[in-house]
């Protein structure tokens, strides 16, 4: 194990940083932002295991010394559920599948410029596998991006779709639940203080009553909520989300919401419950690509979203409903989420599309050749090349992670600029611009104190079985 103190003996580092009682002090933030954080974050991703541990420890410490602290959005959502905060904004939850340092920098630049505090960065269980980003790495890279761009304030990291696979659950229920518990514990230890439980895969629409249809969903969601409460850090109430309808499936109804929530509350007991509820209103993850490569127009049932959000808030004290699969919608659609009082909207594929459209042609073709060689089994009969590449290119993020990272600045710079403009537009349309002060009023981050890494403290993360997105 590398001794973290060795860094202080290197040229320039000892002038910029110091240790006091196990905490990091930053004496030269300008040099750290200009040069030091770039070196650290690269080592945190691509170094040897001891090097990664050392770099991540410094990143966590530097970030918190400079005011970037992992936090739960629960208090803000609870205030919205009580009616203290009007439902006049929708929080963007952004999945950064690759080029995470550059994407994060773009998002933090937009957030800082617009004084946007109510923004979430998330990664799903499936994405962890195919993007090769464990929670601790994802957290460290985003903290580094925030430091680089001078963003300060609560950092909302979220485990998205910590999903129970219906197939795996059918084979071995306890093994699958333990896998979700293990991933949840790993994420919380990394600073993910927002966890979206997804047991909606187990809803059984063949059952005769709504309660019976939702029973396994709400029972397991309650059990996983209790587990989260048992391991959350002192002083932190983790924001937990539930889900009543699988994205891409049947549209959700208020009656299903009530069946889930009533059963969930019975099963939960006295512990703090969920603060939001994910629903299905007509979207699919990634959108539907047509044979010519264009996206099909999505018909979202905004009235259903409005009814579900209001019922969740007024009847159950939740912040509202959560919309998934929205990033490929046209720009003019995003203000409707605010009008329909949705509390949160999840965005992923649209950012991926922007990156791929701006890649050098030769690099993109290299990726597509890889997809043809390694993922041909995912190609459906009659599928065009455009449809196949669109569907499978997310699987290139992991194998090409270092190649993406090391693209020249003349490629990455324009991508960051385009992404920053997109993030800014979304923040404005979703009306989270100017929410920094509101977040500060309700959210009190608890510093994440990490012990100095030692050989006995180092653990090796186990790979999580990838799930289809």
CA 36 to CA 415: how far, in whole Å? 23
What pLDDT was estimated at residue 218?
Answer: 97
Residue 345 belongs to what H/E stretch? strand 344-347
The stretch 373-380 carries a mean pLDDT of 94
Judged against a pLDDT cut of 80, whether residue 75 lies above it is answered with yes
Residue closest to 198 by CA, chosen among 130, 127, 132: 127
Judged against a pLDDT cut of 60, whether residue 407 lies above it is answered with yes
What value does the mean pLDDT of the chain take?
A: 91
What pLDDT was estimated at residue 281?
Answer: 82
pLDDT band at 290 (very low <50, low <70, confident <90, very high): very low
Strand spans (E) along 304-343: 321-323
CA 421 to CA 426: how far, in whole Å? 9
pLDDT in tens, 381-405: 999 999 899 999 999 999 999 999 9
CA 143 to CA 62: how far, in whole Å? 9
What pLDDT was estimated at residue 469?
Answer: 42
What pLDDT was estimated at residue 301?
Answer: 85
What pLDDT was estimated at residue 453?
Answer: 79
- Strands 17-20, 23-26: pairing is antiparallel
pLDDT band at 448 (very low <50, low <70, confident <90, very high): confident
Q: Read off the tokens for 466.
A: 């990838």
pLDDT band at 149 (very low <50, low <70, confident <90, very high): very high
pLDDT band at 299 (very low <50, low <70, confident <90, very high): low
Instruction: Give the three-state DSSP class for 156.
Output: strand
Tell me, rounded to whole angstroms, the distance of Cα 46 from its chain centroid: 21
The stretch 162-169 carries a mean pLDDT of 96
pLDDT in tens, 325-346: 765 677 777 889 999 999 999 9
CA 330 to CA 223: how far, in whole Å? 38
CA 144 to CA 217: how far, in whole Å? 37
Give the DSSP letter of residue 165.
P
Judged against a pLDDT cut of 70, whether residue 461 lies above it is answered with no
Angle between helices 37-46 and 135-148 (to 10 degrees): 170
The stretch 333-360 carries a mean pLDDT of 93
| Predicted TM-score (pTM) of this structure | 0.92
Among 7-21, 276-290, 444-458, the range with the most confident prediction by mean pLDDT is 7-21
What pLDDT was estimated at residue 246?
Answer: 65
What pLDDT was estimated at residue 466?
Answer: 42
Judged against a pLDDT cut of 80, whether residue 454 lies above it is answered with no
Instruction: Give the three-state DSSP class for 283.
Output: coil
pLDDT in tens, 133-147: 999 999 999 999 999
Q: Read off the tokens for 351.
A: 């950012």
Judged against a pLDDT cut of 60, whether residue 458 lies above it is answered with no
CA 206 to CA 389: how far, in whole Å? 35
Does the CA dihedral 47-48-54-60 come out positive or negative?
positive
CA 349 to CA 94: how far, in whole Å? 10
Work out the end-to-end distance of the chain between its first and last CA atoms, rounded to an integer number of angstroms.
Answer: 36
CA 315 to CA 35: how far, in whole Å? 51
The 3-state secondary structure of 116-178 reads: CCCCEEEEEHHHHHHHCCCHHHHHHHHHHHHHHCCCCEEEEEEEEEEECCHHHHHHCHHHHHH
Judged against a pLDDT cut of 60, whether residue 297 lies above it is answered with no
pLDDT in tens, 171-194: 999 999 999 999 999 999 999 999
pLDDT in tens, 107-121: 999 999 999 999 999
The stretch 355-378 carries a mean pLDDT of 96
**Cα three-residue angle 257-267-243, rounded to 5 degrees:** 35
- Strands 91-95, 120-124: pairing is parallel
pLDDT band at 247 (very low <50, low <70, confident <90, very high): low
The stretch 48-64 carries a mean pLDDT of 96
The stretch 2-19 carries a mean pLDDT of 93
Q: Bridge partners of 93?
A: 120, 346
pLDDT in tens, 303-316: 999 999 999 999 99
Strand spans (E) along 119-152: 120-124
Judged against a pLDDT cut of 60, whether residue 286 lies above it is answered with no
What pLDDT was estimated at residue 284?
Answer: 53
């Amino acid at each position: 194990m590398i001794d973290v103190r060795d860094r202080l003996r290197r040229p320039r580092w000892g002038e910029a940083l110091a240790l006091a009682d196990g905490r990091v002090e930053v004496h030269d933030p300008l040099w750290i932002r200009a040069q030091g954080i770039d070196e650290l974050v690269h080592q945190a991703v691509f170094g040897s295991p001891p090097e990664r541990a050392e770099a991540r420890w410094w990143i966590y410490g530097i970030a918190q010394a400079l005011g970037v602290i992992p936090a739960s959005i629960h208090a803000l959502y609870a205030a919205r559920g009580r009616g203290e905060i009007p439902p006049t904004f929708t929080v963007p939850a952004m999945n950064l599948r690759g080029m995470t340092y550059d994407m994060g920098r773009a998002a933090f630049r937009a957030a800082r410029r617009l004084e946007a505090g109510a923004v979430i960065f998330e990664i799903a269980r499936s994405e962890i596998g195919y993007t090769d980003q464990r929670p601790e790495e994802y957290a460290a890279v985003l903290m580094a991006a925030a430091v680089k761009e001078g963003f300060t304030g609560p950092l909302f990291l979220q485990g998205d779709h910590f999903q129970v696979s219906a197939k795996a659950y059918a084979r071995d229920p306890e093994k699958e639940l333990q896998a979700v518990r293990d991933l949840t514990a790993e994420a919380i230890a990394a600073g993910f203080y927002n966890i979206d439980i997804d047991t909606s895969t187990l809803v059984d629409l063949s059952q005769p009553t709504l309660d019976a249809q939702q029973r396994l969903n709400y029972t397991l969601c309650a059990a996983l909520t209790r587990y989260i409460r048992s391991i959350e850090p002192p002083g932190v109430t983790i924001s937990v989300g539930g889900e009543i309808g699988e994205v891409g499936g049947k549209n959700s109804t208020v009656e299903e919401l009530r069946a889930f929530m009533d059963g969930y509350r019975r099963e939960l007991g006295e512990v703090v419950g969920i603060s939001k509820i994910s629903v299905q209103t007509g979207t699919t993850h990634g959108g539907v690509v047509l044979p010519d490569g264009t996206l099909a127009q999505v018909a979202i049932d905004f009235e259903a979203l409005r009814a579900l959000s209001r019922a969740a808030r007024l009847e159950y004290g939740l912040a509202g409903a959560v919309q998934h699969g929205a990033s490929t919608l046209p720009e003019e659609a995003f203000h409707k989420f605010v009008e329909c009082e949705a509390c949160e909207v999840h965005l992923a594929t649209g950012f991926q599309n922007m990156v791929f459209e701006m890649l050098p042609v030769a690099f993109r073709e290299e990726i597509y050749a890889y997809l043809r060689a390694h993922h041909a089994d995912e190609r459906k009969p009659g599928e065009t090349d455009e449809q196949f590449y669109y569907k499978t290119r997310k699987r290139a993020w992991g194998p090409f992670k270092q190649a993406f990272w090391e693209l020249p600045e003349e490629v990455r710079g324009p991508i960051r600029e385009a992404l920053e403009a997109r993030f800014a537009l979304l923040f404005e349309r979703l009306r989270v611009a100017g929410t920094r002060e509101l977040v500060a009023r309700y959210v009190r981050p608890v510093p994440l104190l990490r012990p100095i890494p030692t050989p006995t403290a180092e653990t090796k993360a186990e790979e999580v079985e990838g799930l289809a997105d």
